[in-house]
Amino acid sequence: MALQTLRPEASVDNILAALESDGATIIADVIDASTVQQMTQEVMPFINRSAMGNDDFTGRRTQRTGALVARTPTCRDLILSPTILNAAKSFLRPFSKKILLHLTQTIYIHPGNPAQPLHRDRLAWGTHLPSSIEPQFNTIWALTNFTKENGATRYVAGSHKWDWKQRAADEQIEQAEMTAGSVLIYTGSILHSGGENRSEQARLGLNLTYTLGWLRQEENQYLSCPPEIAKTLDPELQELLGYTQGDYALGYFSDPVNYAEKSDILPPEFALGRKPRKSDTTFGDESIEFSGEQI
């Protein structure tokens, strides 16, 4: 079954309805050709130094490149794209007060790479999370045209509602063809995979995913984007990386070198030289005063 293709001005409600129905949707032409070109120019020097995968899942003819918040300024804008970010927050809100950036990665599939095995991204956490909790809001931005010949993402529409043991028949597998600048949005529960590249050109996609604020991220953002880089970024992006508390008692730290005279319990924002927003320092209806502020 073909996915719904939405316009760039699609509402959050339309995006969520498509995800509920099919498990995935495409928003066409979200960014223009100049933005695609800029993002590609920024990331290609790092892709060129990335090794091919060493197994069939990562792709023996596929280069995967991460740490994109630190490496590519244009990627930061795409992460904060209002349409995408608002949809991600709404989609994950039933299960978490806050959301996190789970992964930043380009996937460069070269000619001759076979199709990746179908899988559900939520299995990063094994089967420990019940199916009633959806832990991921995923996007793949097309930086080249995605076609059946060059390895457009495969998907099984509706499989996000299946029992996890159910397998897809060949005739149920479709591919998300889209133009460069478009974005595929899909849940963590839908069966999907990279397609086989039968063309003569490599296919480049940008995988940006979001997850619940209380889960371990696939890409360790604190190492991929350490404080000395994170402190230069937009506060909302800092918080998506994880430089904020997930809730009142989730994610604070103690400075192992500089002792805070009044409190040894500090919000992560302090490591970046700023205070948390007031809404982040509440427990129930009570405001919490952090007495160890040393900014």
Q: What is the pLDDT of residues 242-275, one digit of tens each?
A: 999 999 889 999 988 876 666 788 999 999 999 9
214 and 278 belong to one structural domain:
no
Per-residue model confidence (pLDDT) at position 289: 47
Shared-domain flag, residues 79 and 189:
yes
**Is 106 in the same domain as 48?**
yes
The arrangement of strands across the sheet holding 183-187 comes to 5-6, 24-27, 183-187, 136-142, 203-212, 99-109, 62-65
Say if 214 falls within a structural domain.
yes
The position carrying tokens 């930061």 is: 76
Q: Which tokens hold the place of 174?
A: 């479709």
- The set of residues, in sequence order, having a beta carbon less than 8 Å from that of 76 and lying 6+ positions away, is 69, 233, 234, 237
Q: Which amino acid is at 22?
A: D
Top pLDDT among 203 and 258 is at: 203
The whole-number pLDDT of residue 260 equals 62
281 shares its domain with 172: no
Please enumerate in sequence order all residues whose Cβ is within 8 A of that of 293, keeping only pairs 6 or more positions apart, or say none: 270, 275
Do the domain assignments include residue 242? no
**Can you tell me the distance from the alpha carbon of 6 to that of 27, in angstroms, rounded to the nearest whole number?**
5
Residue 233 domain-assigned? no
pTM of the model: 0.93
Q: Do both 288 and 211 map to the same domain? A: no
241 occurs within a structural domain: no
Say if CB 102 and CB 217 are below 8 A apart.
Answer: yes
Could you tell me if 114 and 257 lie in one domain? no
Output the CA torsion 159→160→166→172 (10° steps).
10
Helices (H), the chain: 12-22, 33-47, 68-71, 73-79, 82-92, 221-224, 227-230, 235-241
pLDDT for 280 beyond 80: no
Q: Is the pLDDT of residue 287 over 80?
A: no
Q: Are residues 24 and 135 in the same domain?
A: yes
Q: Does any domain span residue 245? A: no
Same domain membership, residue 178 and residue 260: no
277: confidence class by pLDDT, cuts 50, 70, 90: confident
Query: Does 278 score more than 50 pLDDT?
Result: yes
Domain membership flag for residue 90: yes
Q: Which helix (H) or strand (E) holds 193?
A: strand 192-193
Instruction: Tell whether 217 is covered by a domain.
Output: yes
Confirm whether 226 is domain-assigned: no
Question: Could you read off the pLDDT of 102-145 as tens digits, one per residue?
Answer: 999 999 999 999 999 999 999 999 999 999 999 999 999 999 99
Please state the domain count of the chain: 2
State whether 125 and 206 are in the same domain.
yes
Q: Give the CATH number, domain containing residue 178.
A: 2.60.120.620
Q: Which domain holds residue 214?
A: 5-221
Tens-digit pLDDT profile for residues 36-80: 999 999 999 999 999 999 999 999 999 999 999 999 999 999 999
Calpha distance 18→12 (Å, rounded): 10
Residue 173 has pLDDT above 60, yes or no: yes
